[in-house]
Chains A and B, each alone.
Chain A
């Protein structure tokens, strides 16, 4: 065909076709027969980022919500995972210090605002005054911290967050209620308490002392659960270098049973969103909520879907 001579079509490698095929049929397997029923009309999608708590252990989840609802908005997202040492980061003109044993995702569309989602651990923030710009938002569990210009620290605790403010003020939304946390005050997750004096203000962002690694969830009895946990952690490590393979592992795990299957389904939705595959992310997150309406990641999944359909 003459056009193919002038505009040759480069073939895809066999390995790529195998990955595509595996991805398609893994999706069908995890969805089950219900996935083939006619879907409701697609609604306008909004970018959102969901984080997956890795275990039942107390871990701060940093979730970054970004609202690039405007067409043509430039969306940047990245995930930061720390182990034994803290790591500095920047988002827009804000400086972050991600403390050891943490995982968080940053999303910035340069017009809709900046959003940070804490999956586990904690981070310190120095956010210049936003003035007329959209707020800088930090999400940890069901807590949402809106920043207009301040220095503060957020630590995820269970399904909520502890917030210390060192300069300026932040508004923390939790369980639908706002609390203004001023300089020198601390917001505690549960039980709900009025703002109390915070520990001595931290100096300018400095590397925090290494924190003990979050306690891994006690391995449930049985080799199978332990195997699931290892596969989940393998996928988590693969996300940055081979996200397609990581997604494959999450999808296979999600078709199993148990707590790691639940986490894997949510992780798949979050990862798809990070990769910019909004339709796939929405499917996976809705499936998560259908199966686990009161699951450990349910509040994050709902918040993410709320943003998608705002």
Chain B
């Protein structure tokens, strides 16, 4: 049950705030994949994704009465997802995070070696991102990895366009400094043209 326009967003939000369970479920079904995508991009894995997705939607429903239609409902929800993720990243132990396992390859992977190297490179990229400030990480993952325009990232992180550009630049510089010591990561960044 899509709600593509602003009027639809406002109506859906109003019904959710009024406790309309059908509307709440519709919103959940409609937005869950996007919330997962946002969290996955910032976190780099599904570890803790279940908890954080739940936290995000609970926060969404608790605050949906304050949705004013200044942005699309999806962008508004994205802002909450980013806030939930920021809080989680700012609190956790980065050392523990480095130790999370890389998931297994499917048996029928077309090029197993390349897949393994790519996964390892992504893991190392996120390990490098673990070592930079959270707000730089979020800006980098949403803009560079997920490909969102700077102004969209600014909107969901509640920062200015200039601040987001600065954060992305700082994150890139730090990632490249760390990649200098890691040929696999360097090769991956060059191949995927992530400057």
Contact residues in B for A17 (Cβ distance below 8 Å): 32
A residues 3-32 in Cβ contact with B at 8 Å: 3, 6-7, 9-10, 12, 16-17, 19-21, 23-25, 27-28, 31
Whether A39 contacts B63 by the Cβ 8 Å rule is: yes
A residues 122-174 in Cβ contact with B at 8 Å: none
Is A37 an interface residue when CB atoms closer than 8 A count as contact?
Answer: yes
Instruction: Given A24-B57, A24-B58, A276-B91, verify A36-B36 contact (CB < 8 Å).
Output: no
Whether B145 contacts A38 by the Cβ 8 Å rule is: no
Interface string of B30-49 (1 = CB under 8 A from A): 00100011001100011001
Is A35 an interface residue when CB atoms closer than 8 A count as contact?
Answer: yes
Is A211 an interface residue when CB atoms closer than 8 A count as contact?
Answer: no
Contact residues in B for A237 (Cβ distance below 8 Å): none
* Chain A nearest Cβ from B65, distance in angstroms: 5
Is A89 an interface residue when CB atoms closer than 8 A count as contact?
Answer: no
Instruction: Given A3-B146, A10-B46, verify A35-B55 contact (CB < 8 Å).
Output: no
Q: Interface size (A, Cβ < 8 Å)?
A: 33
B residues 91-110 in Cβ contact with A at 8 Å: 91-93, 103
Contact of A12 among B25, B50, B118 (CB under 8 A): B50
Whether A275 contacts B51 by the Cβ 8 Å rule is: yes
Is A279 an interface residue when CB atoms closer than 8 A count as contact?
Answer: yes
Contact residues in A for B45 (Cβ distance below 8 Å): 10
Contact residues in B for A3 (Cβ distance below 8 Å): 145-147
Contact of B50 among A19, A25, A75 (CB under 8 A): A19
Contact residues in A for B37 (Cβ distance below 8 Å): 9
Q: With the chains together, A3 CA to B37 CA distance in Å?
A: 12
Is B186 an interface residue when CB atoms closer than 8 A count as contact?
Answer: no
Interface string of A206-250 (1 = CB under 8 A from B): 000000000000000000000000000000000000001000000
Q: Is the interface of A mostly helix, strand, loop or mixed?
A: helix
Whether A36 contacts B62 by the Cβ 8 Å rule is: yes
Contact residues in B for A279 (Cβ distance below 8 Å): 55, 59, 87
Is A33 an interface residue when CB atoms closer than 8 A count as contact?
Answer: yes
Is A43 an interface residue when CB atoms closer than 8 A count as contact?
Answer: no
* Chain A nearest Cβ from B122, distance in angstroms: 6
Is B171 an interface residue when CB atoms closer than 8 A count as contact?
Answer: no
Whether A38 contacts B66 by the Cβ 8 Å rule is: yes
Whether A20 contacts B54 by the Cβ 8 Å rule is: yes
Interface string of A66-87 (1 = CB under 8 A from B): 0000010011000000000000
Instruction: Given A9-B37, A12-B46, A28-B24, verify A23-B62 contact (CB < 8 Å).
Output: no
A-B contact count (CB 8 A): 82
Is B81 an interface residue when CB atoms closer than 8 A count as contact?
Answer: no
Q: With the chains together, A25 CA to B55 CA distance in Å?
A: 12
Is A292 an interface residue when CB atoms closer than 8 A count as contact?
Answer: no
Is B163 an interface residue when CB atoms closer than 8 A count as contact?
Answer: no
* Chain B nearest Cβ from A182, distance in angstroms: 39
Is A277 an interface residue when CB atoms closer than 8 A count as contact?
Answer: yes
Whether A280 contacts B40 by the Cβ 8 Å rule is: no
Query: B58: nearest residue on chain A (CB-CB)?
Result: A27
Contact residues in A for B116 (Cβ distance below 8 Å): none
Query: B122: nearest residue on chain A (CB-CB)?
Result: A7
By a beta-carbon cutoff of 8 Å, the part of chain A in contact with chain B is 3, 6-7, 9-10, 12, 16-17, 19-21, 23-25, 27-28, 31, 33, 35-39, 71, 74-75, 244, 275-277, 279-280, 283
Provide a sorted-by-A list of 12 A–B residue pairs whose CB atoms are within 8 angstroms: A7-B41, A10-B40, A24-B28, A24-B54, A25-B21, A35-B61, A36-B62, A38-B66, A39-B62, A74-B93, A277-B51, A277-B55
10 closest residue pairs by CB, A with B? A23-B54, A24-B57, A38-B66, A6-B192, A20-B54, A3-B147, A33-B19, A9-B40, A16-B50, A38-B65
Apart from A20-B50, A24-B61, A25-B24: 5 A-B pairs, beta carbons within 8 A: A3-B145, A6-B192, A9-B41, A35-B62, A37-B65
